[in-house]
Amino acid sequence: MLTIGLIGGMSWHSTMTYYQRLNERVAATRGGHASAQVALQSLDFDQIRSCQLDGDWTASGALLAQAGRRCVAGGADLVAICTNLMHKNFPDVERAVEVPVVHIADAVAAVAAREGWRTLGLMGARWVMEETFYAERLARHGIDVVVPDADERVEVDRVIFDELTRGRLVDSSRANYVRIMRRLGDAGADAVVLACTEIGLLVSTDQAPLPTIDSASAHADHLADLALGLTPLPRLTAA
């Protein structure tokens, strides 16, 4: 079994989901006392959040690259960033390490392909919804996206950073998210990707008005399958 390097702490609430899901997947596959081999670097999210607010993606890229190198120094055979938004710095981590870095949107796309979904509603931090780095990765797999309208994007982003990344689950915010999901379905989405790794903590599958892909769970399952050799590792990208 390969060792999975996790760059977490952004926030630590969803990193817990990764750790639990990885171990559940490995235990279910291997049986007995089997558990995942993990090298975790948990960052101080306050530093990362400051970089986000300042628009200093160079500084955040340096922090994530350093964390990726520490994962590999700790024995990681592959590396993953445990957050959707910080895949803005995915190329920085790829350049920093000589092992495969596994993109969260590729794991999301694999779930969508398996289910036959070609258009996904995209809910996440405003950068994820408004910039192209995430949608373009999904487009590589033939998947289109629809996003909430401007006011809804403000609300989705507010809930993520004022509540979810601080461990707060608010009923009124859940109701707003469900309403936004319903509108994405009306706009043509076959399913909604929860493209913030904390959203699944707020809205469960049975509460959502249309199918969802929990990005954290999809990513963790994919990482476990890679570590177990059930799925081939992605090829290294030349620096």
**Residues 156-195: tens digit of each pLDDT:** 999 999 999 999 999 999 999 999 999 999 999 999 999 9
Question: For residue 115, what pLDDT is reported?
Answer: 97
**Mean pLDDT, the chain, integer:** 96
Question: For residue 236, what pLDDT is reported?
Answer: 79
- Answer whether residue 39 shows pLDDT above 70: yes
**Residues 41-99: tens digit of each pLDDT:** 999 999 999 999 999 999 999 999 999 999 999 999 999 999 999 999 999 999 999 99
Which positions are annotated as active-site residues?
A: 83, 196
Average pLDDT over residues 198-212: 94
Look at residue 126 and give its three-state secondary structure. Answer: helix
Residue range(s) of every CATH 3.40.50.1860 domain in the chain = 3-103+217-227, 105-215
Q: pLDDT tier at 16 (50, 70, 90 boundaries)?
A: very high
- Answer whether residue 238 shows pLDDT above 90: no
CATH number of 105-215: 3.40.50.1860
Question: For residue 239, what pLDDT is reported?
Answer: 47
Class of domain 3-103+217-227: alpha beta
Look at residue 210 and give its three-state secondary structure. Answer: coil
Distances in Å between the alpha carbon of 102 and those of 7, 233, 239?
11, 9, 16
**Rounded Cα–Cα distance for residues 17 and 1 (Å):** 20
Chain centroid to Cα 155, Å, comes to: 19
- Answer whether residue 235 shows pLDDT above 90: no
User: By the 8 A CB rule, do 41 and 93 touch?
Assistant: no
Question: For residue 131, what pLDDT is reported?
Answer: 96
Kindly give, in sequence order, each residue whose CB lies less than 8 Å from that of residue 150, ignoring residues fewer than 6 positions away.
none
